[in-house]
Structure 1
Amino acid sequence: MNTPENSAGECRDVMNAIPAYVWSALPDGTVDFVNPQWEEYTGLPASAAFGWKWQSVVHPEDIERFTSTWKSSLENLKPLEQEIRVHRHDGAYRWWLIRCTPAFNQRAEVVKWYGTGFDIDDRRNAQEELRHRDEMIRDSVEQELRDTIDAIPVLCGTMSSDGSVDFFNRRTLEYYGLRIDQMIGFNWKNVVHPDDLPKLLAAHNECFPAGRQIDIQLRCKRADGEYRWLLHRIVPRSDENGNIVKWYGTSVDIEDLKRAEEAVLEQRVLERMRIARELHDTLLQNFQATLLMLGTATSRLDSGPTRERLEEALERSDRALAEGREAIQGLRLGTEQPEHLIATVNSLGRWFAAVPGIDETTVFDVQVAGPPIRPYPSVSREVFSIVSEALWNAFRHAHAKHIHVQFRYHAEEFGVSVIDDGVGIDPSILAEGPGKGHFGLSGMRERANIVNGELTQISELGVGTTIELKIPAVHAYDVA
């Protein structure tokens, strides 16, 4: 017959035979049994574990933590699992994995706690060695990567999503001659040329929210105090959800390259100027003198078909002469810098003013509103042609006391106007529309359309004429 005593004995035999360190405890947590394996491991008799005396084999640094967890399990009737160090018979402390679970009766009352222990020291040491090896490899890779980033011949850094710098490589700090704490955050603004900073901030405000790459040329102060041109490129990195988590930037000093390009451009401009002077001093001067002689001879003829045909030929010759001057001035026009267009128009106006037959008292000037911005080369050519046509009309036909050219460089659009206070154009001529105008108005309209511009012609007899061109900034400015 299987009595409770027999069942308890069988249970104890099983616990003694289990190849692990096994014990049991009463509902209050006092230990009442340990198997022989525990005795062999600790070198102590079973009585040394009964009650709460088992604490003597637990590492002093682990007693409070384990005892607190054990009491919490007793109170909450929850299983326990924890790693502690246990004193072995040879004096060594080795790591154990402890597990305890409660046994309940039919009334859901705890009648016993059963626990096991496993020596995991070797496994733990192996894991620790692997972790330490992984850390060493990671540290080595990170150091090698850091050394590589510091050594590459490029200035580079990283930014958070708001544009705050959190890293610059060593070459960047050496280039600017500053410490990392003087550059991180938003301190990088201090090295950007004051005139270029608004352009950079505008690019940040436009591209950072949209996650667009930034490519921009700026002047930055080198360690020796010299402002030099750098090409900056900033690209985003996104997480798996498409959210930008980092920005990466590189900077390359292009000062020497720009100076070399400027030297080449200067030679081109000088060559164009030489050709223009030779053409003007020979071909156009002789042509102008011939026209003056023909004009004098024509004025002595009586009215009639011959004089009309000569006057028509002279008018066409005037246009050919103007186009020749425009072509020669086109040789002088450099589109590489925004100031070239202004300077060339100013030179052209003064050239027209010096043409024989033009009123010497006519006052000509050029006005500029806003800092000049480089136009696209194609825009620069068409603008010059329109202004050249308008100026020639004004000087040749308006009989004006004042002729002004106004350049307007605004963020939203580019504008230029040619204004005179001359005799004006008959409104009926302006009303005829494109292709039927006078003084080359239809040609100016066509050129305005080429650059997506809007040409406005306002004239009043006896008051003067204004030719105004407006081009949206996106079509006008070469800001890349």
Structure 2
Amino acid sequence: MDTGRGTTDDPGAKLKLLEQELARSRSDLDASQKVSARLTEENETLRTHADRRQWEAGFRLATDTTPGLIWFGGADGSVEFLNTQWCAYTGLTMQEGLGWNWISVIHPEDLPGLVEHWGEIIKSARPDEHEARMRRSDGAYRWFLLRCAPLLDESGAVIRWYGTNTDIEERKRVEQALSASENLSRGQVEALKSTLDALAMEPAADKLVEHLLRIITEQFGAHSISVWRLDPGSGMIGIEMAFEDGRVVTSADPRFAGMDKWLPMEERWPWPEVFRTSKPSLIEDIRAVPAFALRDRLLPMGIITVLLVPMFVAGRLEGAIGIRFVEKKVFGAEEMDLAQALANQVMLMIQFARLSTQTRETAVIAERNRIARDIHDTLAQGLTGVIVQLEAAEDANLRGLSREAGEHLDRARRLARESLNEARRSVHALRPQVLDDSNLSGALAELFTKMTEGTSLKMEFAVLGAPRSLPPNSEENLFRIGQEILTNALRHAQAKLFTAKLIFLPGEVCLDLHDDGRGFDPSSKNDGYGLLGIRERVERIGGQLVVQSSPAKGTAVRITLPSQEA
């Protein structure tokens, strides 16, 4: 007991003990501080992870509630996250689409361009966009706009890529529809312009059909074209021509020799539908069509597909064109519309060529009638004057009036020469010489004087109002009418007095002609070109004709033309 107390009471021992206890306390404090620091670090770590999990949960919630396909990926471009909408659209889980597996949903035609562009974007570290088709979970592809932007650190290095995929299918459809419509309009305009240019330059109407068929062949990349016409009587469809080897050949060409040139129209054939519905029809493979002569002729030419397009005139079905191809073809609605528009132009050109032929025939008839009228107005009427002068010369000679007889013969010769000259001019469709040398008033005065000179017919001619120029055609026809009526007075009327008045009124011109001869019944039929020819001339110059006559009371004729004052 004493020893223990002594040890305790020993100052040295007590100090040593205190030092040991202090050392122990310091060690425990350091440990406590280390533990505290470790706990603080772990707490910060846990809080950081919690914040991150909370942030990621918030990001996922935000992306999953956004109506779009959202993703983010690493700096190398590999995908690390795909939102719910992306997975729902593609049908892939997030794990199936991570990394570079997302490229499996890109359309094979768009993938090479997208991969190349994506590589350029990663290198450039800049925001960009690209369009591509993405496969939907049901296998259908839709157009998307793929946009991306980088997240950069303070040094400008890419930390992460963020992107969105936006459905633009409807926009692309509108763009394609507009493009198709534009192509259709451009094709029609170009074809029409080319046709109008040819119309202005090409004198032969049938060449215009060839020109348009060439345009269609080039625009559609076709091998050749056949043109079919509907026979209204039988309802059968026969080949009229074909555009082959760069030119038009008609059905009379030797290449069609011995063939039945009519299409069989039983229901088992594909083309009756075209003529029944009046809509284009596609024969994808003529090799599948039952054999007949015109089809068999196409097989050695390598023809496979034929697009049949109906042709219309004024809404009436007239035939069809067959656009031939050496490979299988399919056509969109816009291409069908273009083909229809061009087929109608072909029909118009065929109709134009037909009308041109009819016009040429009509022009020939009209020219023949003109020459006949001019012969009547020049030679026939000139000969009338010659005969009148010869009869007067004969009468003077019988009465011993040699000088007067000679004068009548001179007038007859002069009239004969002038008539021959006028006949020559009429062949070249030239105006009467006297109208080239004078105005209408002067020409009529000279005509009336020459025709009645040396005859028993007294002639009176007056011009009333202020004379003014008339259209050349009007002057020539009034001149010929005056000549015709005076000739009739000389030959048939047995008149003593012939009066003529050329009257210039405000807004119109009148030619009044009157004789006191024996007259006639205007309602009776008259041979020759007399009254009928006069009516035709008056109608041609837009005038009005009034004829008043009755037996033994002479004849009065008035021609009235509308005319603007100078």
* TM-score of the aligned structures, taking structure 1 as reference length: 0.36
> Which is greater in Rg?
2
Bigger helix fraction: 2
